[in-house]
Amino acid sequence: HPSLAVRRAALLPPPGAAGTPGAPGQPLPVESRPFASYGSALHIALPQPVRAGQLLTLEIDYEAGEGPGVCWLAPEQTAGKQKPYMYTQGQAVLNRSFFPGFDTPSVKCTYSATVKVPEGFTAVMSATSWEKQKDNTFVFKMSQPIPSYLIALAVGDIVSADVGPRSRVWAEPCLIEAAKKEYDGVIEEFLAVGEKLFGPYVWGRYDILFMPPSFPFGGMENPCLTFVTPCLLAGDRSLVDVIIHEISHSWFGNLVTNATWGEFWLNEGFTMYAQRRISTEVYGLAYTCLEAATGRALLRQHMDNTGEDHPLNKLRVVIEPGFSLFLGVNPDDTYNETPYEKGYCFVSYLAHLVGDQSKFDAFLQAYVNRFKFQSITADDALGFFLEYFPELKEKGVDSIPGFEFDRWLNTPGWPPYLPDLSPGEQLMKPADELAELWAADGLNMEAIEAVDITAWRTYQLVYFLDQVLQKSPLPEGNVERLSKMYPKISKAQNAELRLRWCQIVLKNNLEAEYSKVKDFLHSQGKQKYTLPLYRAMWGGSESARALAVETFSATAPQLHVNVQNYVKKILGLEVAE
């Protein structure tokens, strides 16, 4: 990456060779050659030709820190507001600004690191072992081969608490009690179900680091140490299923990895399927179908925004070498639902072809076992599927008209097959009916009061609010009544509910509750919550636009730079190159 400066390179003597240990090695000429818009190729000339399989030890001295993969937070961007913080975010092609390496998901390697930090700070990494030595120096080792994008480092005022036999939570001191309470005991349950379904958990520990509020993502599945948004600390365990998604990556993505970012659905579609399998075992089919319906609605929204035939809306995306379509490499293409939800539909279609859940579960376990620690293409995955089910191969299931594997991969648009989510209807129907009642001209308070929502879980409330949002603006006075009637919703601490309530406030231009929008945007900087609210404000009334400008000027310094740029774009402000 242009932000990384290579000072020198040297060839070190092979391990165990005669000579002084720690000798400087033989200096080698280094040059940078053009490669792509987001990075160049580092060429190092070796003194003599090498044989295939020969072990070389290269030492590269470099300086980094200014690049997009390394995030430096001022104290005001943290939860504790006392000390600075830094973390790295490698996915998809940003770790080339953290260290020189083969920054492609097609290459896997082990790594080790020695990190020295100032007094009063702790370093953590995505590694199978870590040890604190003297002088505030931490030594890390990752003993399993991983792709470069999963190497991650965070340094801050952070402490930990155990929440299970192989899990602990890490957070700033002011959040650690909340983190322990929310996650005590639950992680082990999810890991155990994952192992039962997909085979052994190979990473040793599963720890979670609660990031500062400005962290722009929901979670990043760094092995052994998932980075997550503090928005998951809802106080009532209502958002723990987000962790199921990150845990599922321990098999799909981290163990079996897409060889190119153009086939990102191999990471995310399989992970969504795995997440919903675990969720079905833990929470039951009805609730999982309801969550999946929320996901389908997001896919619908995304395709309506971009147009179904947009080239991003296919599972196999043609991109320049190694190019990533998301996470700030090209700010025009923010987070895209297609690899997640359309990918989920394709994996569900494969399960539907098999027709027997336990047989498909066995296939997934065989798939993980066959490709573990490798990077694969869609052709590898689908080839293995047909090889595992020869009777399906015989029937030619890869070319059923309208459902051809080729069409799934290469034709943009709505998925040809949608899994049946009707078991969720027992939870959706009451939510649909209640939303209808609130959208009526004269409110039937008797019917409304007869519906008890106290036992509704998060996704049932989310589904209800999505329906209310679709029907908004509601008739005069209805939203005010709704707000008074359900403080559980209008005063929620749960980020998923807060997002939707803020969207409803804006769509109905309920100025009395604008402060809730402002408070929510002041409290966190997650891209998936921040951008929709700025879009809603900018598309709303004069006063909503004024709220957008006022909120952004107050919170900009606490946002991730990519998110700042996305918001500037929405508000029509100049984006610094």
Q: Is 134 annotated as a binding residue?
A: no
Q: Is 429 annotated as a binding residue?
A: no
Cα 522 to Cα 413: distance, rounded to the nearest angstrom: 36
Amino acid at 517: V
* Angle made by CA atoms 427, 471, 572, in degrees to the nearest 5: 120
Q: Is 219 annotated as a binding residue?
A: yes
Q: Is 249 annotated as a binding residue?
A: yes
Q: Is 90 annotated as a binding residue?
A: yes
Q: Is 89 annotated as a binding residue?
A: yes
Cα 295 to Cα 289: distance, rounded to the nearest angstrom: 10
Cα distances (angstroms) measured from residue 421 to each of 164, 234, 427: 33, 27, 11
Q: Is 53 annotated as a binding residue?
A: no
The residues, ordered by sequence, that sit 6+ positions from 429 with a Cβ below 8 Å of its Cβ are none
Task: Identify the CA nearest to 498 among candidates 482, 471, 517, 515.
Answer: 517
Q: Is 91 annotated as a binding residue?
A: yes
Contact 68, 94 (CB under 8 A): yes
Q: Is 526 annotated as a binding residue?
A: yes
Which residue out of 87, 111, 287, 340 is catalytically annotated?
340
Provide the CA 481 distance to its chain's centre, in angstroms: 36
DSSP helix/strand/coil, 63: strand
What DSSP assignment string belongs to 366-434?
HHHHHHTTEEE-HHHHHHHHHHH-HHHHHHTGGG-TT--HHHHHH--SS-S-----GGGHHHHHHHHHH
Which residue out of 182, 246, 263, 513 is catalytically annotated?
246
DSSP helix/strand/coil, 170: strand
Omega of the bond leading into 27 within 30 degrees of 0 (cis):
no
Q: Is 200 annotated as a binding residue?
A: no
Cα 501 to Cα 524: distance, rounded to the nearest angstrom: 16
Cα 512 to Cα 507: distance, rounded to the nearest angstrom: 13
Q: Is 311 annotated as a binding residue?
A: no
| Strands of the 153-156 sheet, one edge to the other | 70-73, 85-88, 153-156, 122-125
Indicate if 38 belongs to the active site. Answer: no
Q: Is 268 annotated as a binding residue?
A: yes
Indicate if 246 belongs to the active site. Answer: yes
Contact 565, 534 (CB under 8 A): no
Q: Residues comprising the binding site?
A: 89-91, 216-221, 245, 249, 268, 526-528
Return the active site residues. 246, 340
Annotated binding site for a peptide: 89-91, 216-221, 526-528
Which residues are known binding-site members for Zn(2+)?
A: 245, 249, 268
